[in-house]
Amino acid sequence: MVIRDAQISDINKIFELAQSLSYNDTSLAEEGFLVSGYSEDNYEKFLGKSFFYVALIEEKIVGYRLAVEVGNPAHLQNYTSFHRVTWLSNELFEVDKLIYLAQSGTAVDYQRRGIASATLQHLINQNPNHSLFCAIAEKPLRNQASISFFEHKGFQRIGYFKPEKFKNISEYMSGRYALIKKK
Ligand SMILES: CC(C)(COP(=O)(O)OP(=O)(O)OC[C@H]1O[C@@H](n2cnc3c(N)ncnc32)[C@H](O)[C@@H]1OP(=O)(O)O)[C@@H](O)C(=O)NCCC(=O)NCCS
């Protein structure tokens, strides 16, 4: 497996992979799902302004990870909703360096082979002193695959996020999960 930075020529494949893992296909819920409406254009805007990796097996993109550094203006310019996202969890104000794990996905046929683990480890290797956090859907559908993945990596639930309206999904709620680096 090769992990490298995403490039513009990868965007179409990343978009297709994300679409294939979309929340709209609830038959896949046990494998996890993405509550994301990113277009190819949205993904492209993250290039060079995020931690954006692809995982390849035999030159085929089988996984990706997108993360942004909190406090990094370039990273956050695509994240207008960021304050709403963070303020529910006081623990996150107490760390110096923080990365928000925005999205990750592994092609269904390649899951449970350590691909998401490898892209997460790549991010940690590049940012060994950062704390990490993410949001995982709990209602109306619980993303158990993702919860199990992050708990396996030592993340703990530190709060929740419940907007009045979220991507037209009624009763949406996500849990906040974090891996806090001790000072
Ligand atoms: C969540 C997801 C990214 C995990 O990717 P992956 O490449 O299969 O993960 P890994 O193989 O690195 O898993 C590492 C460990 O996490 C846990 N885990 C991963 N997927 C799991 C699942 N479906 N059920 C239970 N535990 C799971 C296991 O402990 C696993 O270790 P094991 O296989 O030795 O038991 C993948 O299921 C996925 O793409 N889901 C759809 C999109 C999504 O939910 N993304 C996350 C939200 S942004």
Which one is predicted more confidently, 89 or 112? 112
* Model pLDDT for residues 94-136, shown as the tens digit of each residue: 888 999 999 999 999 999 999 999 999 999 999 999 999 999 9
117 in ligand 1 pocket by Cβ < 6 Å? Answer: yes
CA of 73 to the centre of ligand 1 (A): 30
Per the structure, the complete domain to which residue 175 belongs is given by: 2-179
Residue with tokens 């925005």: 102
Pocket test of ligand 1: the residue of 111, 120, 124, 142 to mutate, having most ligand atoms within 8 Å of its CB, is 111
Q: Which tokens is 50 given?
A: 């995020």
Supply the pLDDT for residue 82.
Answer: 73
The span from the CA of 177 to the CA of 156, in Å, is 5
CA of 96 to the centre of ligand 1 (A): 28
* Model pLDDT for residues 45-86, shown as the tens digit of each residue: 999 999 999 999 999 999 999 999 998 999 988 887 777 666
36 in ligand 1 pocket by Cβ < 6 Å? Answer: no
Q: Which tokens is 44 given?
A: 């492209």
User: How many domains is the chain partitioned into structurally?
Assistant: 1
Supply the pLDDT for residue 87.
Answer: 66
148 in ligand 1 pocket by Cβ < 6 Å? Answer: yes
CATH number of the domain that residue 119 is part of: 3.40.630.30
Query: In the predicted model, what is the mean pLDDT of residues 21-32?
Result: 83
